[in-house]
Amino acid sequence: MSKEKQLLFPFVAIVGQEQMKTALLLNVVDPGIGGVLIKGEKGTAKSTSVRSLAQILPEVEHVKGCIYHCDPIPGKGYCPGCAEAVESGVKLESERSPMRVVELPLSATEDRIAGTLDIEHVLQTGKKKFEPGVLAQANGNLLYVDEVNLLEDHMVDLLLDAAAMGVNYVEREGISFEHPSRFILVGSMNPEEGEIRPQLLDRFGLCAEIRGEKDLAVRTEIVARRLAFDADPKGFTEAYAEETKQLRDRVLEARKILSGSAADKDIIAMASHVSLYFEMEGHRADITMVRAARVNAALNGREKAGREDIATVAPLVLAHRIKRKPFEESKFDIGELVVCLQEF
């Protein structure tokens, strides 16, 4: 384990906040779920949880020497450099490296996020010169945006578009450049500091709403573990090394299970039934619920997803999509979900 990772509070040592941890793990296993937004008051381990995911993120294969970390598998999309090499008959070499947690500074400009085209260089030489941004670093990794609600709407839109399409497209003065940008988008926010527009909120696959623990025993354990980590980060991390390895192996096994199975009609019908019951618009919620339910089953060693998996993931999929009136706080009723599933 690297020195950097030793200094991160172990993900497996985080007490409570099960909904948040589940949402993060679901996305690590299947980035196609569409990312997660973590909403909660300050001091609820939002940033700690996301950053500590670096300890369990799997390795990914990418083209050796490519600054965009292109996927070597044909059909996944190449940057211009890799595409040109393939067209000229060059065989792309590949290597494996662990996924990283890439953080987006709150002060980042649009150029810093998307990258910049040097127009003057193009005019002088006729060749494109592109300065990669955060979306290039994020390709194949996890992109974390703390206080995402404080970003301007068009910046959030830019991130969500890239996450959904898997491509970052930049155009300046009629000149364009694009490169692959597939990543897991994780945003966190304190609702007291402002909300995100519903149109943008809906585009996050999952949303975990968390609060400070009220149980005395749980709060005591949280404080005790944090103090123990601060006193001896290396020793504390090593004490959880085996649990961390087990969770990393569990993620890898879940990915294998998913790759060898498909969604059956029953789970699709169940997800659609739940979406109709809660009056979801469009089909994004249905699709996300099926994907998340299958991952939840895979994390528990099962190929076939069922009612219990829908019950686990539905709050994460639906809570932020439920219609609400102005100034009304959206709440997801677990009791209604139980009734809904009994009807199916």
Burial class of residue 66 in the structure, from the number of CB atoms within 10 Å of its CB (0-12 exposed, 13-18 middle, 19+ buried) = buried
**Tokens linked to 47:** 């940033």
Q: Is 133 helix (H, G, I), strand (E, B) or coil?
A: coil
Q: What is the pLDDT of residue 37?
A: 94
Per residue of the chain (344 residues), what is the pLDDT tens digit?
A: 444 445 789 999 998 888 999 999 999 999 999 899 999 888 788 888 899 999 999 888 899 989 889 988 887 788 888 888 888 888 888 899 889 999 998 888 888 888 887 777 766 676 777 788 899 999 989 999 998 888 888 888 888 888 888 888 887 777 788 889 999 999 998 888 888 877 778 888 999 988 887 889 989 999 999 999 999 999 999 999 999 999 999 999 999 999 888 888 999 999 999 999 898 888 999 999 999 999 999 999 999 999 999 999 999 999 888 876 555 555 677 877 877 887 77
Q: What is the DSSP letter of 265?
A: H
Catalytic residue from among 51, 250, 284, 307: 284
At 4 the pLDDT is 44
Full-model pTM:
0.87
Q: How far, in Å, CA of 12 to CA of 244, rounded?
A: 6
**284 flagged as catalytic:** yes
Q: What is the pLDDT of residue 328?
A: 54
